[in-house]
Each structure stands twice: as structure tokens, then as C-alpha cells.
Amino acid sequence: MHTDILITDICLPGKAGDEAPISEGCCLAITGDLLEYVGPADAAQDITADTVINAHNLLALPGLVNTHCHSAMTLFRGLADDLELGEWLNRHIFPAEAANVSPDMVYWCSKLAAAEMILSGTTFVADGYFFEHEAARAFTDAGLRAVAAQAVIDFPAPGVPDPLKNIVAAEEFIAHWQGKNPHISPAIFAHSPYTCSNATLQAAKEAARKAGVLFFIHVAESPHEHILIEKPLGKSPVQHLAALDILDADTVCVHCVWTDEEDLDLLAQHQSKISICPQSHMKLASGIAPLATMLEKNIEVGLGTDGAASNNGLDLFREMDICTKLQKIRTLDPVAVPAERVWQMATAGGAAVLGAGRQNGSLAKGMKADFILIDCNSPHLQPMHGTDLLVYAADGADVQTVFINGTMVMEERKILSFDLAETLHEVRLLSRKVH
């Protein structure tokens, strides 16, 4: 069998029942943008390839999936730290966005975020922001897979100064990108139930349904969010969305920190998905999402970093570690959400949240060739008695090589898909104007 790329001398995570946590002497083959073979080298003697790469015993893993990010907000990293959510948003972030967000800003700062994510092993991101055309262009140039969602909000916003045109702008964005690029899937991101009217939420969701794309919305991030909704139709933000017929299998509810049993039952009933952002929730003191209960109700939950302004990093390895430890604290149960489950959320589970579970998130024949190679020989990863160590001790700097869609975008920690120095220069120039 002839393939495009053959990567030899890799390690793979052991399977249930294996004596060792890591299987050595394996290889991986790629044809086009798909994995052709993943397994022991002994069973792949007949595989040839145009390009053969020796991985020198690096560990191959699925690329990580970030289910919620505002990539362009890297410009505001560290701008307004240690503040309550309302003050942070209304007195600092919204004004900073009004003064600084432009097409150039979104392009270069999204490209910076793409670099940070690739360098830390993320191969697939769900992004939502203004001027999302530019974010999608940045992800394309970086070689990063993305669900790119145009923001909808009921006040003058960058790129859409007339709020009455916010749905049209989202529809035009979808029409421009849908089916046009293998890296980009367009979507709609309605900011929240308290910044979008009932009519806007329904119109945005209807546009998403009509186009067959995902619909994202911030919901239940703070305990007082419900009183901010202008015309509430339920006792909670989730019940409000249910009353508006917003919830379905293509709706991704972001945060869901302040949700109760009734809320989660509604989300499960409608097969809606959830993205939680543990470090952002910690930094803004929003609370700890009831993840264990979500999972008990069989709700698909993914991990997100949120934007760099409220995290302040985009490293999903850090996010995994914090996530599982927070759940132990919340429940006072050390096995509430084990590391293995959180790893699943950051890979196959995250891909499922983004509607791509049949293509992304695992290393198997026929899946998209989105994967990372990790150096496990660092002191903090030895000895490796089990792969839970990847959740509790690994970090993004352990990632050496990244493939996305069958293309190597990073090799030995050098980004190949674009000029990182140029991006850093452009972002530094933009940062001088931030006020």
C-alpha cells in the first residue's frame, strides 16, 4: 500500500488491558487529509510513502479541540485583570473593543492565537468574534481547523455599526465560507440572552437552522444573568432559551456555570451541547460548572479556553488539569470527573460538540489527519505509569510536531505554515494603540 506520508518510530497510548501505558514501535500513515494506518509497525511492512519521517519515539496523540475561543482578544491579554465579570466586560472589554477592533486587528491577533494554539497542541478551534471573515482568513493561513462564528449582538458592533443588520451580516458570512475551505466551517455566535433581544435570538437561530450551521451562545455565566434579560420567558437563562425554541442538537451553550437540574434536563432533552472554560470561570470568579452532573445526564461537553483576556492563555493542557481538579473540589469527590474523561472532552468529545465527531478527535483509519507528537522524555513526564499523567503534568511546551488536515504545520516547535515573527511584530504595533 502506497501513501503520502509514513511516520515511523512513534509511540501510541496503550489500550485497555495492555500491560504498558504506552505502545512503542508503531507507525502512522497519511493519504491526503486522512489517516490510512495507525498501529504496530510489524503489521505495516507493506506500506510505502512519498515521504517518510522518523519520529524518534515521540508519542502520537489526537489534536486537541478548543470548543470556545475569542481568538482576536489576544490583543487584550492582561489588559484588565482581577475584576468582576460585569465590571471587566462593561468598563474595560467593551470599550477596548469599540476603540481597537478592526479587520487588521482581528486578522493579526487571531493569527497570534492560532500560533499559540498550534504550539500547545490544539488543531481545531471554535471561534466567535466580530469581523470573523478576518479570523477565518487567519486560521486558513495558519492551517488551523476552525468553526468560525460571526458575532451577533444588539448594539453597534465592529463591522456591523447598525444592529438591525446583524443577522444579514451573519448570513453573508455563512454564504461566503460555507463549503469553500476544508479548514473552515462557518457558524453564528449570539453573544448572550442579555445582549440580544428575544427577536434577535430567534432570527439568529433561524438563520443558523436554515444554513445548517452551529449556533453558539454564552449562557448562565454569572448568578445574576437572569435579571439582565430584558424580557425573560423562563426562570433561568436556559429556560428562557428553551421558551424561544433556541435549544437543539446544533446549539452550543457556553459556560453554563449557574445551571440547576431543571436547566440541565432541558439541555439533555434538546440534545444541546455545552462548552465550559474552567480557567476563565476561575479568573472572573464566575463559579465552577456542574460538569459531573452534565456528564451524568449524557450531555456532550467540551473544553474551551475562552479569550486570552479572561484566561490568559490558550493552552488546553493547562485547561484539562484545572478542569478535573476543580471538579474534585466542587464535589469533594476525587473521582467525580477522572482525568481520562477530561482527556476525552478535549479530543473526541470536543469534536462531537462541534459536530465533527465522526471525522476528528481520535487516531484511527479514516479519521482526519489532525494529530500531535509529544516528547515524553521530559523530567515532569517520567516515569509514565499511565496516560492520566498527560492531563495532570503535560503542558503545551511538550508538543513537538503538529499535523492538521494531513499537513505538517509545526515541526520541532517551529511553525511552518506562516511567519510567526511577522505576526508578533504586527500585534506589537497594534498593542501600542490600545487604550
Could you report the per-residue pLDDT of 387-412, keeping only the tens digit for each? 999 999 999 999 999 999 999 999 99
- pLDDT tier at 311, thresholds 50, 70, 90: very high
Mind listing the pLDDT tens digit for each residue in 163-215? 999 999 999 999 999 999 999 999 999 999 999 999 999 999 999 999 999 99
pLDDT band, very low/low/confident/very high, at 275 (cuts 50, 70, 90): very high
Q: Residue count of the chain, please give it.
A: 435
Domains, the chain, in order of start with CATH, read 2-57+363-415 (2.30.40.10), 64-353 (3.20.20.140)
Using an 8 Å Cβ cutoff, are 404 and 97 in contact?
no
pTM of the predicted model as reported, rounded to 2 decimal places: 0.97
pLDDT (mean) for 290-316: 97
- How much of the chain, in percent, has pLDDT values that exceed 70? 99
pLDDT at residue 186, as a whole number: 98
Query: Helix, strand or coil for residue 203?
Result: helix
Which regions of 172-298 does DSSP assign to beta strands (E)?
184-190, 215-219, 251-255, 273-276
Can the peptide bond before residue 166 be classed as cis, meaning omega within 30 degrees of 0? no
C-beta separation of 70 from 307 below 8 A: yes
The predicted structure's pLDDT at residue 17: 64
3-state secondary structure of 182: coil
The pLDDT value recorded for residue 203 is 98
> pLDDT (tens digit, 9 = 90+) per residue, 350-362?
999 999 999 999 9
Distance separating alpha carbons of residues 4 and 294, to the nearest angstrom:
41
Alpha-carbon distance of 301 to 254, in angstroms, equals 10
Q: Mind listing the pLDDT tens digit for each residue in 5-39?
A: 999 999 999 876 677 788 999 999 999 999 999 99
Q: Give per-residue pLDDT as tens, 51-93.
A: 999 999 999 999 999 999 999 999 999 998 998 888 888 899 8
Confidence of residue 133 (pLDDT cuts 50, 70, 90): very high
Angle at 116 between CA 114 and CA 119, to 5 degrees: 105
pLDDT in tens, 213-272: 999 999 999 999 999 999 999 999 999 999 999 999 999 999 999 999 999 999 999 999
Say what the pLDDT of residue 225 is: 94
Return d(Cα 88, Cα 99) in angstroms, integer.
Answer: 16
